[in-house]
Amino acid sequence: MKRYIALFWLLLPLPVIVLHFSRGQEWLDLDHARVLVREGEDAEKAGDWEVADESFREAARLVATGKPELKLRLDLARIRTGFRKGEAVEAIDLSDSLLNDPSFSAMPESFREEARELSGRIHYYAAWVMRLEGAQRDLWMEEAELARQNYRLLVEDFDDPGEPTLHQKDLESAVQLQRLSLTELMARPLPKEGQCMANQGLSEQMARRRGQRGKKPGVGPMGEGPPNKGAGMDRFKPGSGS
C-alpha cells in the first residue's frame, strides 16, 4: 500500500508538467503577447514607431498560429507602424496580404473598415510620392488605382447612400490624383502624413521589387504618358477581399 501511495505522489506533478509543455506554453506565449501589445499601443500613442513596431512584431511571432483574429489585428498594427516608420514597401505588401487573408471577411466590420481605409491611404501616398519621383506611369498608376478601388469599396460597404462622408471625399481625392498633371501635383504640398514615404527611393524599390525596368510588356517609359495595359493592374479585384 505504501508503495502505491509513494508512486501516486511521484506521478502527481506529471499532468502539470505535460500541461506546461503543451497548452501551458501556448497560454504563456499568449499572456506575453498581450503584454507586448499593451507596450506597443503605449509606444504608438507616444509616436515611438520603432518600439511599437518591435513590440507588435514580437507579439505576432508568439501567436503565429492558432489565433487568426489576433494575428490579423497584429498585422494591422504592424502596417500602421511600418507606414509611419517609412517602410512603405513592407507596409504595402503586408496590407495586401491582410486584405487577401481568408479570415479577413469574418472580422468585425470596424476592423475591416479600418484596414481598408489604411490600405487606401498607403497606396494613395505611395502613388503621390512615386509621381513626384518620376516613376513609370504604370508603376504609380497601379498604386493610385488600388487606392481608388479601396475607397470605392469603403463607400459601397460603409457609407450611407445620399449622404457624403469622408470615404466619398477620399475616393474623389484618389480619382483626382490620377487626373492631375504632374505640374499641378508638384504645386501642391505633400500632406504631412505622406511625407514619411518621401526621400527613400520608393519608385526604385517598387520597380526593383516587381522587376519593372521598362523591359517587360505593358511597362511604359519613365515620367508622364498615356497608361499602358498590364503592369499588374489586376492585383486588386473588387469583391475578392483584396
Q: Which pLDDT tens digits describe the chain residue by residue (242 residues)?
A: 655 455 444 444 544 444 444 455 555 767 777 888 888 888 888 889 899 998 888 888 887 666 788 889 999 999 999 999 888 899 999 999 999 999 999 999 999 999 999 999 999 999 999 999 999 999 999 999 999 999 999 998 887 766 667 889 999 999 999 999 999 999 999 999 899 898 888 998 888 876 543 443 332 333 344 333 333 333 333 333 32
Q: Is residue 163 part of a domain?
A: yes
Contacts of residue 52, Cβ cutoff 8 Å, sequence gap at least 6: 40, 41, 43, 44, 77, 81
For the record, the C-alpha cell of 73 comes out as: 489585428
Closest CA to 60 of 36, 26, 85: 36
Q: Is residue 5 part of a domain?
A: no
Q: Is residue 148 part of a domain?
A: yes
Query: Can you spell out the DSSP letters for 157-174?
Result: HHSPTTS--HHHHHHHHH
Q: Is residue 67 part of a domain?
A: no
DSSP code, position 219: -
Q: Rounded distance, CA 94 to CA 145, Å?
A: 18
- Whether the pTM exceeds 0.85: the reply is no
Give the domain extent around 129. 113-242
Q: Rounded distance, CA 197 to CA 214, Å?
A: 23
Q: Is residue 121 part of a domain?
A: yes
Q: Is residue 179 part of a domain?
A: yes
Q: Is residue 241 part of a domain?
A: yes
Q: Is residue 132 part of a domain?
A: yes
Q: Rounded distance, CA 153 to CA 171, Å?
A: 9
Provide the number of structural domains found in the chain: 1
Contacts of residue 49, Cβ cutoff 8 Å, sequence gap at least 6: 43, 81, 84, 85
